[in-house]
A = this chain, B = another copy of it.
Amino acid sequence: MDGDKGTSALSKGSKTKAKILKTALKLFSTKGYKATTVRDIAGAMGVKQSALYNHFKNKDEILETLIGDLTSSAIVHLFDDRDPHEAAKSGKALLAGIGTKFKLLSFDGQNEALYKLLMQEMFRNERVREIYNEHFYQENVKKLSTYLFMMMQEELIRSSDPLMLANEFFAPLFFYQMQVSLLKQDKKSTSSVVSLFEKHVEFFWESIRIEKKESLF
């Protein structure tokens, strides 16, 4: 019934369902859930409103489905699941990778829409808040803090509160992602913000790294 995306032999049915979700996401993220009507969604895909009810029980179920998809979205899976110890040893490269991932996600249309939906619904929908907090925030910050802790043990970075550091690394990336999203909405240039992603990684790393001992000289 579901799953199996990417298969070209999909029954037309599930293709339509996917189209509804895609269209709804675009509209929800632009106008907000409440301000988007069932007619808007149907109209945008060249179909009458009643057709949607063959695929979803009601409007709420469309939102629920999108919210459910959030959990498997790219924005909640920041880390490749490679060996943690190896990852930690790579030091700055690991952080640079995360920075780049954030930057790229800012420019991925699908992710951008999900991000905007998240930001708008978070404040009025407890379930969205829960997903944001557990999957998007907590999970990533915790994972990051364990990496940072390992880096401390490897004496790559100075010893301090890993959770604090993880937050300090995470927060600006989140913020810059928001800035990109806002600028793009008005078709303004994003170049100044884009450079901030890299500058952040650089600045952060310089703040925590242990200067190589001049024992070589």
Binding site for B on A (CB under 8 A): 29-32, 34-35, 116, 119-120, 122-124, 126, 129, 132-133, 137, 160-161, 164-165, 167-168, 170-172, 174-176, 179, 181-182, 185-186, 196, 199-200, 203, 206-207
Contacts and interface: CB of A to CB of B under 8 A. Distances in A.
Contacts of A186: 126, 129
A129 to B, nearest CB: 6
Contact of A120 (B30, B120, B161, B185): B120
A164 B195 CA distance: 9
Contact of A182 (B129, B172, B179): B129
Contacts of A174: 171, 175
A31 B196 contact: no
Given A35-B124, A171-B171, A206-B207, 19 more contacts: A31-B124, A32-B124, A34-B34, A116-B123, A119-B123, A120-B124, A122-B182, A123-B181, A126-B186, A132-B182, A133-B182, A161-B199, A167-B172, A168-B203, A171-B175, A172-B172, A172-B175, A175-B175, A207-B207
A30 B172 contact: no
A123 B185 contact: yes
Contacts of A133: 182
Contacts of A179: 137
Q: Which of A34, A35, A175, A176 has the most CB of B within 10 A?
A: A175
A35 B32 CA distance: 10
Contact of A171 (B35, B124, B160, B176): B176
Contact of A34 (B35, B116, B182): B35
Contacts of A207: 203, 206-207
Contact of A168 (B164, B172, B182): B172
A32 B34 contact: yes
Ranked nearest first, the 4 interchain pairs of A and B with the lowest CB-CB distance are A207-B207, A171-B175, A171-B172, A34-B34
Contacts of A137: 179
